[in-house]
Amino acid sequence: MPLDEIPRVTDQSPRYDCLLFDLDDTLYPLSSGIAEACTNNIKDYVNQKLGVERSRVPDLCTYLYKTYGTSMAGLRAVGYEFDYDDYHSFVHGRLPYENLKPDPVLKSLLLSMPQRKIIFTNGDKIHAAKVLNKLGLEGCFEGIICFETLNPPSRITENNNDWDMLSVNSTIPKTPVICKPSKVAIEQALRLASADPQKTIFFDDSLRNIAAGKRAGLHTVLVGTSVRTEGADFSLESIHNIREALPEIWEEGDAKRFKNVMSSRAAVAAFETVVTA
Ligand SMILES: [Mg+2]
């Protein structure tokens, strides 16, 4: 066969094969009031359960959130002891979930994307399940990486002496709680998802999380603003604008589906405990 008749071997691997979605204020708008209620509940917890004087609470919470990624991570880092489940049920248990309505437009968009889709949230699994239920998005995601996935019970009980290591190569100070935007959290999520950062798009409303994702080599989409900032490859005022901003997600089409089914099998095992919990 003449050389010019030999079929060329082209790279059939997809450009993107995994989509990581933050949950709160990313899959629904900030205007829902969930974030504001959550902040108020955290302040009440710090005052009522941890005994911090009410007048000191706002500054303390702001400082801890900005410094450690989440208020909970900050509270633990500066020495407060509390039960994580108690914290989550207090902070999330009274949220106005009724403000979240089914979003069939987003559901349709998600289901039409050929890539694997995974939630990556600092929230706990009960909160994640409630939000997805209220938005009508159950079944749209292959798995949920959440607080319990990043901080399994075995780690919480055994990590009293090793959490200094978590500050290594991180932009946030040491804390025993693994959460975005720490490098450890992002690397752990990628490992759990069996995802190649160069083929993964990360959606989040937090500038810090997006910047951390970019440092980890991910493609990044800042959600909630049309202003593109450092570390964000794209920005979307609403997750609903995704098709217009990133048509390439759909361009590789069906050829990708087979590959994704195969590559998702390894990841399924990692999520089993969360999905069935
Ligand atoms: Mg968020």
Q: How many CB atoms lie within 10 A of CB 86?
A: 11
Q: What is the pLDDT of residue 147?
A: 94
Instruction: Tell me what the mean pLDDT of segment 167-177 comes to.
Output: 61
Q: What is the pLDDT of residue 212?
A: 94
In the chain, the number of structural domains is: 1
Would residue 244 count as lying in a domain? yes
136 has pLDDT over 70: yes
- State which residues form the domain around 182: 18-31+101-276
Would residue 87 count as lying in a domain? no
And the tokens for 204? Answer: 């989040």
Instruction: Tell me what the mean pLDDT of segment 138-147 comes to.
Output: 96
Which DSSP string do the residues of 239-271 spell out, in sequence order? GGGHHHH-THHHHTHHHHHHHHHHHHHHHHHHH
Q: What is the pLDDT of residue 163?
A: 45
Q: What is the pLDDT of residue 230?
A: 87
Centre of ligand 1 from the C-alpha of residue 206, in Å: 6
Would residue 268 count as lying in a domain? yes
Centre of ligand 1 from the C-alpha of residue 17, in Å: 22
Centre of ligand 1 from the C-alpha of residue 258, in Å: 31
Centre of ligand 1 from the C-alpha of residue 181, in Å: 11
The CATH number linked to 146 is 3.40.50.1000
206 has pLDDT over 50: yes
Q: What is the pLDDT of residue 152?
A: 87
Beta-carbon neighbours within 5 Å of ion ligand 1: 22, 24-25, 205
Centre of ligand 1 from the C-alpha of residue 24, in Å: 4
Centre of ligand 1 from the C-alpha of residue 22, in Å: 6
Would residue 130 count as lying in a domain? yes
Q: Give the tens place of pLDDT for each residue, 18-74.
A: 999 999 999 999 999 999 999 999 999 999 999 999 999 999 999 999 888 889 999
156 has pLDDT over 90: no
Would residue 161 count as lying in a domain? yes
Instruction: Tell me what the mean pLDDT of segment 103-115 comes to.
Output: 97
CA 119 to chain centre: 5
pLDDT band at 258 (very low <50, low <70, confident <90, very high): very low
